[in-house]
Amino acid sequence: VAIYVLAVIAIVGATFLLGLVIQTRIGRFLNTNLEKQYLMKIPGYKVARDTVMQFFGKNRSFFKEVVLVDIFDSGTLMTGFITDTTDSYYTVFVPTGPNPTSGNIYHVQKHRVHKTHAKVDSGMKSIISCGAGSSEIFNEEIKEIED
C-alpha cells in the first residue's frame, strides 16, 4: 500500500512541478514547440484542444448568445446557442445534456428563435445540469427576434 501511495504522490508532484515550469517563459516556449512539432500531428488533437479551450480555457467562446428555439413549430422551446447568422436564418447549436460538446446544429428561421438576456455561462450550466437552473434563462425577459 505504501508503494501505491508514494507512486500517487510522485505523479501528483511531477504534474504540479510541470505546471509550474510551463508557466515560465521558457516553459511556454517549450510547450509551444512541442505542440507544433509533435502533438499537432496526432489526428483529432487540434479539434479536441480547441473544444476544450472553448469550454474551459481563456479563449473567447464561439457561442454568441443563449436563445430558446422552437425548432419544429410545436411550442416546445430548446436551449441553444447562436453560432452564425444570415439575412433570414440563424445557425443554432442545441447541445445535449449533460455533455455540451455533442448536440445538433439547426439552421432556423429568425422568427422561431427567441433571444434571452442570459449569459453563455448560465446556458452552459443549465445544459450540463440537464435543465436545472433554467430559471436563470427564463428570469430575464425573452423577446422574439424581429430583424
pLDDT digits (tens, 9 = 90+) for 5-25: 999 999 999 999 998 998 999
pLDDT of 16 = 95
- Kindly report the pTM of this predicted structure: 0.57
Question: Looking at per-residue confidence, does 147 or 128 come out higher?
Answer: 128
Residue 137, sorted as left (phi over 0), alpha (psi -120 to 50) or beta, turns out to be: alpha
pLDDT more than 90, % of the chain: 36
> Which of 75, 76, 78, 105 is closest to 90 using CA atoms?
105
- What pLDDT was estimated at residue 55? 63
39/147: higher pLDDT: 39
Give the tens place of pLDDT for each residue, 59-105: 556 677 889 998 888 888 999 999 888 999 999 999 988 877 789 99
**99-133, pLDDT tens digit by residue?**
777 899 999 999 899 888 888 888 888 888 888 87
Mean pLDDT of 128-139: 80
147 or 87, greater pLDDT: 87
C-alpha cell recorded at residue 69: 428555439
